[in-house]
Structure 1
Amino acid sequence: MSSGRGRGGRRRAQHEEEHVNHERWLVSYSDMITVLMALFIVLFAISQVDQQKYVALRDSLAAGFNTNAAPSVLDGSTGTLDGASIVPETAPASSTGGMVDADAGLGTQGANPSSVPGETIDPAVLEAARREAAHLEGVRAQLTALLEANGLGDAVRFRINDRGLVLGLVADDVFFAAASAELTPTARQVLDVSGPTLVGLAESISVEGHANNIPVSGRYPTNWELSSDRATQVLRHLVEVDGVQPHRIMAVGFGDARPLVDGVGEDAIVANRRVDLVILSSAPEAVRALVPTLTGTEG
């Protein structure tokens, strides 16, 4: 009797339903929330605002809508995108309305930092650009004085760009005859007058020959050879006669590929037959980019 009940009890136990876990979905839900949290952390980490680009966009939008000032997109905000919080202060003006004495001789643009494109320039970069501009202006003034003292004031055309100080030796039968790379007496005199100043500089010098677009004949197959020979003759004179250190100077010919004056008229023919002496600035690129604006001699 008892054994029957035992067997019946076991049979009943075998038919009991297994307990169902109704909270198992929480595991998958927790995994999904964890993945989403990691995703948002990564998105936040890679979405930090480039402040300089933000301010440039702000100023561009302000100029496009002809507003007098460049307001912040989030005006009044105290968060990360507050435009006022990321614009560095410009250098203060002196009591007379100008800048510090280091800006002397840089023209009206160099005297007012607000005239420099963009008001978010690193003050250290701006100050370095002012020093470099003053240095190049000083070299130009020194060379101009020497040339004028020797009656050669009109023989060289100076300009300052983001590469440095350019001495344009325009041929015009003063430095080279047509289709010739032989230095004229005037060309040698200009180089000899400029040589001592060039020797005393620390910068490298690039001698760049150019030709007009008139096809050559005879000794030179093309304008490439002609322009290269002109640059080489200037380089040799500066090194062999005037004492410029060879490791500081190089020569290159551009043929007629980089005209100073476009067209085929007489002015273009004369102006493009030239050699440029480029005193290469050793300042960083960001500094050199500001120098033409500070000197007011972009070109």
Structure 2
Amino acid sequence: MSQDSRPIIIKRKKIVKGHYGGSWKIALADFMTALMALFLVMWILSTASQEQLEGVADYFRTPLTSAVVGGNKTTGSTSAIPGGGPDPMHTDGERMRIDLRTETRPSDEQRSFVDLQRRLESLVEGDPQLRDMKAQMRFDMTPEGLRIQLVDTEQRPMFELGSDHVAPYMRDLLRAIAPVLNEMPNSLSISGHTDDIPYAGGEKGYSNWELSSDRANASRRELVAGGLDADKLLRVAGLGSRVPLAETVPSAPVNRRIAVVVLDQRAARQIRSQGLRGGGAPSPAGTNLSGALPESPLEQFTQGLKEAVTDD
């Protein structure tokens, strides 16, 4: 056959007209579902009360990882090798989140502290005999709860010099606020503080340690005399001059003060648990004569294996 008589083959692409698949329907359905969820959340938020909104805000303040694993997790990092900050067990961001979680308390308890502060301020402001003491009262929120500090001034000291004898106006103030504190279900902590001016004999004899403790106990007695239930007191301590106020010199008169802390539930539980071993009640069967902690299962197995080898 000659080259000119070869058959000519023409290939034509067959075009099939029709739809392009159903993937767009899935995308549209996902979009409509997300849009419906958004409107549903907006409607719920618009009908929620202020207390419910604050509860939602408290929920989102807690890191998700810490909320899932609980409060005993050392770090919220998802990395197998934690670190990245000054402390190898934390990064700076992790420490910030953990501290925020520690300081967060239920919104109803927070509101009760705010209400208590307003009531105490109104009480002092409305009494002509106590009004002069308002400038010596300081309120602030701490990780333990609402702290009420009664500070000294050169013109109006709360105690006689170097003594735990309560001044009359200090006595009136403590007895006036006692019924209000007694209405709260929370427990209390009282701590005494002094300036850093030492006694002549130093700390070998009667010192600022004893003075601060005596003043804290004198304040406790006045609160109880004013109507405070003595069972509400969980801690009465003297800290001497070791904890001066921020941005003050240790010898400043304001460092001679009494701090009354209305404890939140978490702080009260921590104080009560200090007498327990490992956070739970000690078992009589698990206590040995030496007072040491009972051996773990691994230690018991290892000790038994050693005894078996020795017997053989």
TM-score range, shorter chain: 0.5 to 0.7
Q: Matches of 1:103 and 1:229 in 2, distance apart?
A: 45
1:253 aligns to what?
A: 238
CA separation of 1:115 and 1:211: change in aligned 2, threshold 3 A: farther
What residue identity is the alignment partner of 1:184? A
Structure 1 unaligned segments of length 5 or more: list them. Answer: 1-90, 287-299
Larger RCO (alpha carbons 8 Å, 6+ apart): 1
1:153 aligns to what?
A: 134
Q: Matches of 1:277 and 1:176 in 2, distance apart?
A: 16
What TM-score, normalized to structure 1?
Answer: 0.52
Q: Matches of 1:277 and 1:157 in 2, distance apart?
A: 10
**Contact 2:193 / 2:255 at 8 angstroms: preserved in 1?**
yes
1:182 aligns to what?
A: 165
Identity %: 28
Larger radius of gyration: 1
Deviation by residue 1:14-63 (Cα, 9 ceiling, x = unmatched):
xxxxxxxxxxxxxxxxxxxxxxxxxxxxxxxxxxxxxxxxxxxxxxxxxx
Tell me how far 1:229 sits from its aligned partner. Answer: 0.7
CA separation of 1:243 and 1:262: change in aligned 2, threshold 3 A: same
CA separation of 1:131 and 1:216: change in aligned 2, threshold 3 A: same
2:50 aligns to what?
A: 101
Tell me how far 1:100 sits from its aligned partner. Answer: 3.9
1:274 aligns to what?
A: 257
1:164 aligns with 2:141: no
Tell me how far 1:176 sits from its aligned partner. Answer: 2.1
Q: Matches of 1:285 and 1:122 in 2, distance apart?
A: 22
CA separation of 1:160 and 1:224: change in aligned 2, threshold 3 A: same
**Contact 2:208 / 2:241 at 8 angstroms: preserved in 1?**
yes
1:56 aligns to what?
A: none
CA separation of 1:135 and 1:216: change in aligned 2, threshold 3 A: same
1:216 aligns to what?
A: 199
Number of aligned residues? 186
CA separation of 1:208 and 1:103: change in aligned 2, threshold 3 A: farther
Tell me how far 1:103 sits from its aligned partner. Answer: 8.0
CA separation of 1:161 and 1:111: change in aligned 2, threshold 3 A: farther
What residue identity is the alignment partner of 1:169? L
1:52 aligns to what?
A: none
2:108 aligns to what?
A: 131
**Contact 2:136 / 2:152 at 8 angstroms: preserved in 1?**
no
Tell me how far 1:216 sits from its aligned partner. Answer: 2.4
Q: How does 1:200-239 map to 2 (within 5 A)?
A: 200-217=183-200, 221-239=206-224
2:19 aligns to what?
A: none
**Contact 1:261 / 1:272 at 8 angstroms: preserved in 2?**
no
Instruction: Please state whether the residue corresponding to 1:153 is helix, strand or coil.
Output: helix
Tell me how far 1:204 sits from its aligned partner. Answer: 1.5
Tell me how far 1:259 sits from its aligned partner. Answer: 1.5
Q: Matches of 1:229 and 1:284 in 2, distance apart?
A: 24
What TM-score, normalized to structure 2?
Answer: 0.50
